[in-house]
């Protein structure tokens, strides 16, 4: 099923991007302009996406009873995914130094950590290590957040 | 060349270089041994560190991690029946059986010895073959380069694991991602959809971190990786002379085989170890004892995967075309540091090339020296549960991506790549083709356009120049491999139908 979905996305994507190549402002005189290569790629992508669709439809008919043996843990998957997505605005507004221990705590809890001392220690030690390694030692300036949280970050790096 | 070689080796022993090298060895052995962290992921996560350093120490660090993680995956394969890295899959077959027989120490000793030997043999071939290949490639111009990259991309789709169609789709997506942004020769914006941040292109580090590291966390967090085995602390026992004599043929053959498999684009150490395991078992006099816990079954995959890891560096250094996913990431590290690997590199920056090679030699040697004391410390750390590792990898993914150009857009790209990568791997899409397509995308387009400008738009230039024609012919020939596989499968299916129950 997943294969069918992916192939449909690929076919639609290639058609959409092919249409978009017409908005690329290429000089008309240029024969080997900036649009030729992407168009070759997109036509090939369309063809392979179509082959994949036919293959998956054919296999679906043949092996409809086949079940995937993968486990899917909805709480862990969605929990991680949502936290990962929210970490981007958190970095922007709360800043690296405050957001990171909070996020390590939440991620570890979702991943199954239940011991209280580990839940307190892991975020603190983890944040200390990465802060020392990247912003301090390697001078990588991680986002500082806004307002007073910005001021706090200056204590650390 | 000989002077460069000596100079390079001497250069490894500069304090900062040797510190970085040993840091790489340590991180590689430790990280590779922990199930759920692959060598590719380690190199990817360490990319931001490579920013903060000069090119040579940065590359020494990354290549040392790359080399040693291929070995250390075998530690957890032998002790806990869980390969620490994909490369150690075949080591489980006999390694864990040996542990069950109470021979864990001997299995570890054989793994360490075969890995180091395989790596060293690979290194010797690397030293011999790289300049030869580079000098051959000096005669190449754009049409040849186009055909060579085309061949590499076709081979990675055919042999990269998974179906050919999925491999090709991966390559094409990678190539397309590389076209986003301002076109380098005409300056026109492509697929930017009026997003200013996209004009400078999609950063490949963000895509790679998303595809390899973040997607992996999303997958692994759902599995229970906590090893409940309480294996007693094993004493590593190096093979004695008698056993060495018995293993020398297996190690020699597997190292050779592994090296040449590694040179092929997209076919990395994992395939090399599987192929050499099955070759050794089918050519062995007592092939039936493979899988029951014999040292040959550990020596074959372990020498092959380390040798293959060295093989994959040959096309990277000589042609600028990586031989595997991890070397594609290392190519990225070269480019980030303003170095373009290719045939001219060895001529213009021989010192750099030979320092890296010297570092690889030393990293392989240090596997013998360091792994024995490390393993006893490791048996505690190896049991680190995923609820500690997973969240930390997530944070590393964000820092690694942000460090490249301090861009929030890159973080968004990384998360999207992670979600896409998760779905693609669930649907059994191999990721190596996409990475190779992405890393080689700009190069193949440039050569394609330059070749057509030389010929005045005539496509026959790719077929009339002899080297280019041969490379393209090889590419089209390798397209027959999936057809052949399909045909063989059909014959087998027919046989099964004719002889049911057999």
pLDDT in tens, B369-411: 888 777 777 666 666 788 998 999 899 899 988 988 889 999 9
- How far apart, in whole angstroms, are the C-alpha atoms of residue B96 and residue B208? 32
Chain B contact set for A111 (CB, 8 A): 221, 386-387, 390-391
Residue whose pair of structure tokens reads 């080591």 in the numeric block: B91
- The residue ranking higher by pLDDT, A95 or B432, is A95
pLDDT per residue as tens digits for the range B102-150: 888 899 999 999 999 999 999 999 999 999 999 988 888 999 999 999 9
Interface touch B426/A2, C-beta < 8 Å: yes
Burial class (CB in 10 A: 0-12, 13-18, 19+), B477: exposed
Among residues B299, B311, B300, B303, the alpha carbon closest in space to that of B259 is found at: B311
| d(C-alpha B201, C-alpha B271), whole Å | 33
Q: Quick check: B96 and B297 in contact, CB under 8 A?
A: no
Q: What is the pLDDT of residue B86?
A: 84
Contacts for B216 with CB less than 8 Å, ≥ 6 apart: B36, B38, B41, B393
The encoded tokens of residue B143 equal 């049409």
Q: What is the DSSP letter of A28?
A: T
CB contact under 8 A, A51 and B165: yes
Q: How far apart are CA A139 and CA B210, in angstroms?
A: 23
Give the tokens for residue B108.
Answer: 């570890």
Give A115's pLDDT tier (boundaries 50, 70, 90).
very high
Give the nearest partner residue to B176 out of A36, A38, A143, using CB atoms.
A38
Q: For residue B487, is it left (φ>0), alpha (ψ between -120 and 50) or beta?
A: alpha
Strand partners, B189: B182
The mean pLDDT value for B208-224 works out to 87
CB-side neighbour CA atoms (13 Å) of B408: 16
For residues B371 and B26, give the distance between their C-alpha atoms in angstroms, rounded to a whole number.
9
Per-window interface: B 437-456 vs A, CB < 8 A: 445, 448-449, 452-453
Confidence of residue A69 (pLDDT cuts 50, 70, 90): low
pLDDT tier, A29 (very low <50, low <70, confident <90, very high otherwise) = low
Q: What number is the average pLDDT over the span B2-21?
A: 90
The answer to whether A130 contacts B189, with C-beta atoms less than 8 Å apart, is no
Res. B226: pLDDT tops 70: no
Q: Which of helix, strand or coil describes residue B256?
A: helix
Segment holding B185, helix H or strand E = none
Rounded to whole angstroms, the Cα distance separating B251 from B256 reads 9
- pLDDT for the residue B281: 86
Are B96 and B35 spatial neighbours (Cβ–Cβ below 8 Å)? no
Pick from B240, B209, B233, B218: which is nearest to B113 by CA? B240
**The pLDDT value given to residue B502:** 42
CA distance B204 to B210: 10
A33 to B214: CB separation less than 8 angstroms, yes or no:
no
**Res. B30 pLDDT band, cuts 50 70 90:** confident
Q: Which helix (H) or strand (E) holds B189?
A: strand B189-190
pLDDT score recorded for residue B379:
66
What is d(CA B374, CA B74) in angstroms, rounded to the nearest whole number? Answer: 14
Q: What is the mean pLDDT of chain B?
A: 87
B144-188: pLDDT as tens digits: 999 999 998 998 888 776 788 999 999 999 999 999 999 888 888
* d(C-alpha B33, C-alpha B70), whole Å: 9
User: H or E element: which one contains B349?
Assistant: none
Q: Which of B101, B52, B460, B106 is nearest to B296 (CA)?
A: B106
CA gap B120, B401 in Å, rounded: 34
Distance CA B269, CA B311 (A): 9
Percent over 90 (pLDDT), chain B: 42
Per-position DSSP letters for A88-122, written without gaps between them: HHHHHHT-HHHHHHHHHHHHHHHHT---HHHHHHH
Query: In angstroms, rounded to a whole number, what is the distance separating the alpha carbons of residues A113 and A104?
Result: 11
Of the candidates B188, B189, B152, the residue with the CA atom closest to the CA atom of residue B171 = B152
pLDDT-derived band of residue B266, with 50, 70 and 90 as boundaries? Answer: low
- The rounded Cα B141 to chain-centroid distance in angstroms is 27
C-beta atoms of A88 and B411 within 8 A: yes
- Output phi, psi for A70, to 5 deg: -70, 140
Rounded to whole angstroms, the maximal C-alpha distance in chain B is 71
Question: Can you give the residue ranges of every domain in chain A?
Answer: 2-62, 74-156
Is B427 within 8 Å of A72 when comparing Cβ atoms?
no
Residue-by-residue DSSP string for B41-106: HHHHHHHHHHHHS-HHHHHHHHHHHHHHHHHHHHHHHHHHSS-SSGGGHHHHHHHHHHHHTT-HHH
Per-residue b or e along B322-348, where b marks 16 or more CB atoms closer than 10 Å to that residue's CB: bbbbbbbbbbbbbbbbebebbbebbee
Q: Which of A28-32, A107-111, B187-191, B303-307 has the lowest mean pLDDT?
A: A28-32
pLDDT of B62 over the 70 cut: yes
Token code pair at residue A50: 């179509």
**B221: contact with A, CB 8 A cutoff:** yes
Q: Per-residue pLDDT for A102 more than 60?
A: yes
- Which of 42-61 (B) contact A at CB < 8 A? 48-49, 51-52
Give the three-class secondary structure for B203: coil
Q: Is the CB of residue B120 less than 8 Å from the CB of residue B258?
A: no
Distance (Å, whole) CA B368 – CA B151: 37
Q: How far is CA B150 from CA A42, A48, B337, in A?
A: 16, 17, 26
pLDDT at site B501: 46
Q: Using CB atoms and an 8 Å cut-off, which of residues 90-149 of chain A contact chain B?
A: 91-92, 100, 103-104, 107-108, 110-113, 118, 122, 126, 130, 134, 137-143
Count CB atoms within 10 A of the CB of residue B205: 25
pLDDT, tens only, B66-103: 999 999 889 888 888 878 888 888 999 999 899 888 88
**Among candidate residues B40, B92, B43, B107, the one with its CA nearest the CA of residue B430:** B40
Query: How far A126 CA sits from the closest chain B CA (Å)?
Result: 7
Q: How many CB atoms lie within 10 A of CB B472?
A: 21
- Phi first, then psi: give them for residue B189, nearest 5 degrees: -80, 135
Q: What is the DSSP letter of B199?
A: G
Question: Can you tell me the distance from the alpha carbon of B152 to that of B134, in angstroms, rounded to the nearest whole number?
Answer: 16
DSSP state of B23: H
* Distance (Å, whole) CA B119 – CA B114: 8
Say which DSSP state A134 is in: I
User: Is A70 in contact with B186 (Cβ distance < 8 A)?
Assistant: no
> φ, ψ for residue B190 (rounded to 5)?
-125, 135
The answer, for A50 touching chain B at a CB cutoff of 8 Å, is: no
* Record: contact A126-B391, CB cut-off 8 A: yes
For residue A136, pLDDT over 60 is answered with yes
ipTM: 0.92
The Cα B297–Cα B92 span in angstroms is 9
């Amino acid at each position: 099923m997943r294969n069918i979905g992916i192939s449909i996305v690929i076919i639609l994507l290639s058609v959409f991007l092919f249409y978009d190549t017409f908005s690329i402002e290429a000089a008309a005189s240029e024969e080997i302009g900036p649009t030729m290569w992407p168009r070759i790629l997109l036509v090939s992508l369309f063809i392979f996406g179509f082959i994949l669709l036919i293959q998956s439809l054919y296999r679906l008919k043949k092996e409809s009873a086949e079940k995937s043996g993968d486990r899917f843990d909805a709480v862990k998957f969605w929990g991680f995914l949502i936290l990962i997505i929210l970490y981007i605005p958190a970095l922007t507004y709360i800043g690296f130094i405050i957001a990171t221990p909070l996020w390590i705590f939440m991620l570890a809890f979702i991943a199954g950590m239940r011991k209280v001392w580990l839940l307190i220690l892991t975020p603190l030690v983890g944040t200390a290590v990465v802060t020392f390694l990247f912003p301090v030692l390697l001078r990588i300036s991680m986002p500082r957040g806004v307002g007073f949280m910005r001021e706090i970050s200056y204590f650390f790096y | 060349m000989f002077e460069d070689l000596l100079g390079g080796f001497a250069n490894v022993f500069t304090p900062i270089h040797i510190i970085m090298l040993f840091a790489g060895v340590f991180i590689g052995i430790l990280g590779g041994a922990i199930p759920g962290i692959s060598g590719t992921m380690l190199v990817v996560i360490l990319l931001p560190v490579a920013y903060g350093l000069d090119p040579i120490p940065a590359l020494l660090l990354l290549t040392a991690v790359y080399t040693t993680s291929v070995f250390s995956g075998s530690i957890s394969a032998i002790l806990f029946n869980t390969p620490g890295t994909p490369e150690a899959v075949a080591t489980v077959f006999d390694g864990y059986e040996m542990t069950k027989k109470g021979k864990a120490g001997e299995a570890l000793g054989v793994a360490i010895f075969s890995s180091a030997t395989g790596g060293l043999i690979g290194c010797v071939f690397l030293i011999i073959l790289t300049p030869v290949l580079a000098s051959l490639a000096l005669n190449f111009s754009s049409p040849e380069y186009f055909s060579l990259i085309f061949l590499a991309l076709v081979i990675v789709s055919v042999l990269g694991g998974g179906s050919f169609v999925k491999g090709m789709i991966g390559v094409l997506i990678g190539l397309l991602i590389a076209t986003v942004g301002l076109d380098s020769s005409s300056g026109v914006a492509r697929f930017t959809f009026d997003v200013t941040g996209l004009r400078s292109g999609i950063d490949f580090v963000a895509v790679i971190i998303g595809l390899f590291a973040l997607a992996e966390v999303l997958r692994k967090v759902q599995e229970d990786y906590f090893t409940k085995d309480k294996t007693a602390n094993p004493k590593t026992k190096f093979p004695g002379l008698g056993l060495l004599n018995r293993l020398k043929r297996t190690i020699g053959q597997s190292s050779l085989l592994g090296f040449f498999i590694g040179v092929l684009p997209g076919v990395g150490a994992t395939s090399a170890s599987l192929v050499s395991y099955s070759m050794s078992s089918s050519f062995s006099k007592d092939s039936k004892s493979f899988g029951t816990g014999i040292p040959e079954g550990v020596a074959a995959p372990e020498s092959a995967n380390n040798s293959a890891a060295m093989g994959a560096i040959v096309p990277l250094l000589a042609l600028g075309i990586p031989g595997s996913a991890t070397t594609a990431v290392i190519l990225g590290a070269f480019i980030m540091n303003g170095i373009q690997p290719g045939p001219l590199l060895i001529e213009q920056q021989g010192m750099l090339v030979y320092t890296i090679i010297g570092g690889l030699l030393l990293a392989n040697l240090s596997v013998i020296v360091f792994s024995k004391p490390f393993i006893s410390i490791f048996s505690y750390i190896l049991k680190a549960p995923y609820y500690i590792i997973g969240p930390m990898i997530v944070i590393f993914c964000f820092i690694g991506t942000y460090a490249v150009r301090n861009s929030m857009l890159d973080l968004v790209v990384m998360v999207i790549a992670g979600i896409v990568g998760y779905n693609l791997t669930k649907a059994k899409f191999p990721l190596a083709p996409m990475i190779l397509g992405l890393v080689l995308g700009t190069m193949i387009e440039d050569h394609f356009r330059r070749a057509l400008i030389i010929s005045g738009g005539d496509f026959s230039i790719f077929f009339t120049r002899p080297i280019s024609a041969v490379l393209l012919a090889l590419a089209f020939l390798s397209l027959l491999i999936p057809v052949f596989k399909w045909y063989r499968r059909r014959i087998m299916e027919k046989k099964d139908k004719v002889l049911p129950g057999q």
